[in-house]
Amino acid sequence: MKWKIACIQFDIAFGNPEANKEKICELVKEASKENPDIIVLPELWSTGYDLERLDKIADAGAFVTTKLLKSIAKEHNVHIVGGSIAKKTNKGIYNTMLTVDNKGQVVGEYSKLHLFRLMDEHLFLQPGKTDGLFELDGETCAGLICYDIRFPEWIRAHTTTKKAKAIFIVAEWPLARVDHWRTLLIARAIENQCYVIACNRSGADPKNVFAGHSMIIDPWGDILSEAGEEASILTATIDLTKVDEVRSRIPIFEDRRPQYY
């Protein structure tokens, strides 16, 4: 299975869902000119980190966002790994990734498991309780959100037991720790022998400057494509048969001895 991937790295309008939805429609249309199979959006792309106002601007039940993603997926005949949005529920607000296939069907929903206290997420958001697994074209994938990449033992569960071949990571990762971003992403690809597709945002908000540097990395840890700090649409083609090849050449999953860990 080969997929052409497009990651949309853009400067999110702080606390302005309407402006961001309009921008996403424009950028998806632009990205679709390259005929990608999958388009990936960044974390909290509709609101940014306007956490203090999420109670007013979060998407109740994610109904508006779901309708939008279904529409653009069908219109452009593309799978959408929909970054994440603030989903308001009667239990609180969640940082939720929605994945929609090219037929307009929701095939995955994952709420951020690990909340990042340095940006006060724990004060405004509820932690998720499920894994990030979903299927596209019959292939098992995982979707993770930003801080999740610092928890390798959890990610490993997606690739050993569940056999995910591609990990999609969406983020608002700050420029101050861009070296961590790059190193962790490459490490996650190498240790899990899978593709890592990471879509970060660009630009700044009132408190942070963000790193950009969206990346697409193969199972050997080689960078297939990397953006800079500015807004851009990053593309690369991945071949999932390479995952099987790498896992057979260095059979780390077979050689694990978890009973001693």
Residues near 162 by beta carbon (within 8 Å), at least 6 away in sequence: 131, 133, 140, 142
| 146 is known as an active-site residue | yes
C-alpha distances out from residue 187 to 12, 184, 248, Å? 28, 5, 19
Cβ contact 54:46 at 8 Å:
no
Instruction: Identify the active-site residue in 7, 146, 194, 199.
Output: 146
The string of DSSP letters for 35-53 reads: --SEEE--TTTTT-S-GGG
Q: Print burial letters for 5-41: b (CB count within 10 Å at least 16), e (below 16).
A: bbbbbbbbbbbbbeebbebbeebbeebbeeebbbbbb
Angstrom distance (rounded) from CA 72 to CA 53: 27
Instruction: Identify the active-site residue in 87, 88, 112, 165.
Output: 112
| 112 is known as an active-site residue | yes
Picking from 182, 152, 4, the residue whose alpha carbon sits closest to that of residue 79 is: 4
SS3 119: helix
Angstrom distance (rounded) from CA 176 to CA 67: 35
| 43 is known as an active-site residue | yes
Cβ contact 99:65 at 8 Å:
no
Instruction: Identify the active-site residue in 7, 43, 141, 172.
Output: 43
Catalytic sites, residue numbers: 43, 112, 146
